[in-house]
Structure 1
Amino acid sequence: MTAQDSATHPASIAVEGGGARGGTLLAALGVIAFSLTFPSTVWGLESFGPWSLVTLRSTLAALVAGAFLLVLRVPLPAREHRGGLAVVAGGVVIGFPTLTTLALGSATSAHTAVVVGLLPLTTAVFAALRTGRRPSRTFWAAALVGAAVVVAFAVQQSGGRLSAADLYTFGAVLVCAAGYTEGGRLAREMPGWQVVGWALVGCLPFAVVGAVVALPFEPVRLTAHGVTGLVWVAVGSTFCGLYVWYRGMAAIGVARASQLQLAQPLLTLVWSVLLLGEHLTAAAPVAAVAVLACIAVTQRART
């Protein structure tokens, strides 16, 4: 069997997930990579406008992915997979980065990270609707508690109402959950890195056109932080992070993997303090710890 054949052979896909423990580890590595996304985006905004940053991020990530696909001579995805790849591209590659970057223009990295804590519950709902699987009542109860904590935090921090940044973030959560769900399903039928790679490559023409249009109209002030932030969100979060994330989801399931992201807000709080020097309100770590407590319950609940 050739290397190309093994890349799509069912047995190789099973090995790729690495079993339940390996899948959990891979999904956790993805969460760590994602936890650095918001601080890196804030750094990137030091050098680029929001539209320039989003389009350059997608362009660089797509070039890296395209190089891997080309060198390994990966065939074009099957026709039946292309619709799902479009959903992944629209939600994860375009929608989430655009909306969260706009949110970070007026909200702190820490605040946005806690609001994104809604993503695990939303992904579990999408997964249940898409796959027909029904998580247990305990699973749903713990996920709903985590979601309630996040909503209460957002309202309290925004002075009793949701801000425009919160609305951007909620929109990002919805489109990202759809992309995660469809990507997790595809990762059971084709290698996870190819799901990410083809979704990124499919967005390349739009990203290039967007960058050409945005760059002349937004200021560019290159700094070490700005360039580092751009490189990380493009390669670290968008390509490498999604790669291990989809492999993990293929092994342990979308709903269970999504609950690991409840740890992401707490990790981002740490990076926001260490890398950005943000001052946390008392509610931020309390909310983050509360949703972390939900992880223990959801991970023990059968699906």
Structure 2
Amino acid sequence: MTLGALGVLAFSMSLPATRVAVGHLDPWFVAFGRAVGAAALAGGYLWLTRAARPVRGQWWRFVIVAIGVVAGFPLFTSLALTSATSAHGAVVVALLPAVTAVFAVLRAGERPPVLFWLASGGGLVAVLTFLVVSGTVRGSATTADLYLLAAVVLCGLGYAEGGVLARDLGGARTICWALLVALPVTVPVTLVAAVTHPPYAPAPAWGAFGYLTVVSMFLGFFAWYAGLARGGIARVGQIQLAQPVLTLLWSALLLSETVGAGALGAATVVLVCVVLTQRARNPATPRPAEEATRPVQPEPTPRQAKEAAPARPSSAS
């Protein structure tokens, strides 16, 4: 749980840092450039620790992790935050714990009760209601909301798949290999973005980019995937409930963004729904039907037990 909390604390600054970075840098450069920088750190870590190569059946799983957390979430949040505030993004990202739980259910083959699906649907309705009320007046806001929803879905997939991989490889090796697997895509996109829009920016933007590279894309996953592997994806995933609240706090303190009552209300409803989702994921295991309906036999008396016992063969004299 401590490892998971450290990961959430690291990720809670991602949206505000992205907002600062994309204010001066191209969003494609921010999304893929930070992955390239983190991949350089990952290669150094794997070389220093002399980490063994993954087995053949694990490579496609690394591709899924890379699509989710190395490329998908950074790209779509960067595109969204060119027009939306990080406080607005925090409300939509509040669905991430529920989405992670859904993919954990699908990945583990569990059969959650009806309450699980009702709570997940309630959280989705709360977010969509907030988006309709606050984001449909202007088309750019609606586009940003779609980007954020896509980022949440892909990130939940990457979290669940990475948590499964980390059970065998550990959190550090999981994110490191995923970053290296993504290099054939992240390097060309970064170069094209740098040539198209030369990355000239003031120090605060580069500081935010550095945070996204070292902490959000690299060190944060060390703790997060290790926590998911050791404590369970569903159980440790509950710590994500604090992430939207922390993001709203950072947005107000660092960026002076206004956190309205509507955003707080929507985030609260979503968090309540996610709590119900997490509580519904691990119901008490019921007794099998045939065992529950089987009549209970009374304990035999000593005389009945003696009569039922097989007779001992007499020993030869």
TM score, norm. by length of structure 2: 0.82
Q: Assess if the C-alpha contact under 8 Å between 1:46 and 1:225 holds in 2.
A: no
Letter of the 2:190 counterpart: A
2:19 paired with 1:42: yes
Pairs within 5 Å for 1:234-249: 234-249=213-228
- Give 5+ residue unaligned stretches, structure 2: 283-317
Q: Assess if the C-alpha contact under 8 Å between 1:43 and 1:225 holds in 2.
A: yes
Compute the RMSD of aligned alpha carbons. 2.0
Structure showing greater Rg: 2
Tell me how far 1:140 sits from its aligned partner: 4.3
Structure 2: how far apart are the matches of 1:274 and 1:69?
A: 37
Alignment equivalent of 1:165, drawn from 133, 144, 147 = 144
Alignment equivalent of 1:33, drawn from 10, 27, 40 = 10
Aligned to 1:69: 46
Measured at CA, do residues 254 and 298 of structure 1 come closer, stay the same or move farther in structure 2, by a change above 3 Å? same
Moved more, 202-211 or 28-37: 202-211
Tell me how far 1:184 sits from its aligned partner: 1.0
Structure 1: how far apart are the matches of 2:156 and 2:281?
A: 21
Aligned to 2:265: 286
Alignment equivalent of 1:209, drawn from 188, 193, 203 = 188
Q: Assess if the C-alpha contact under 8 Å between 1:43 and 1:229 holds in 2.
A: yes
Q: Percent identity?
A: 45
2:86 paired with 1:109: yes
Structure 1: how far apart are the matches of 2:162 and 2:79?
A: 24
Alignment equivalent of 1:55, drawn from 15, 32, 35 = 32
Q: Assess if the C-alpha contact under 8 Å between 1:266 and 1:289 holds in 2.
A: no
Aligned to 2:72: 95
Tell me how far 1:100 sits from its aligned partner: 0.9
Aligned to 1:18: none
Tell me how far 1:297 sits from its aligned partner: 4.2
Aligned to 2:235: 256
Letter of the 2:65 counterpart: V
Tell me how far 1:147 sits from its aligned partner: 3.1
Deviations for 1:252-295, whole angstroms, at most 9, x for unmatched residues?
A: 22233333323211111111111111112211122223333445
2:56 paired with 1:79: yes
SS of structure 2 residue aligned to 1:188:
helix
Moved more, 210-219 or 96-105: 210-219
Letter of the 2:52 counterpart: P
Alignment equivalent of 1:180, drawn from 144, 159, 175 = 159
2:243 paired with 1:277: no
Q: Assess if the C-alpha contact under 8 Å between 2:238 and 2:275 holds in 1.
A: no
Structure 2: how far apart are the matches of 1:261 and 1:136?
A: 22
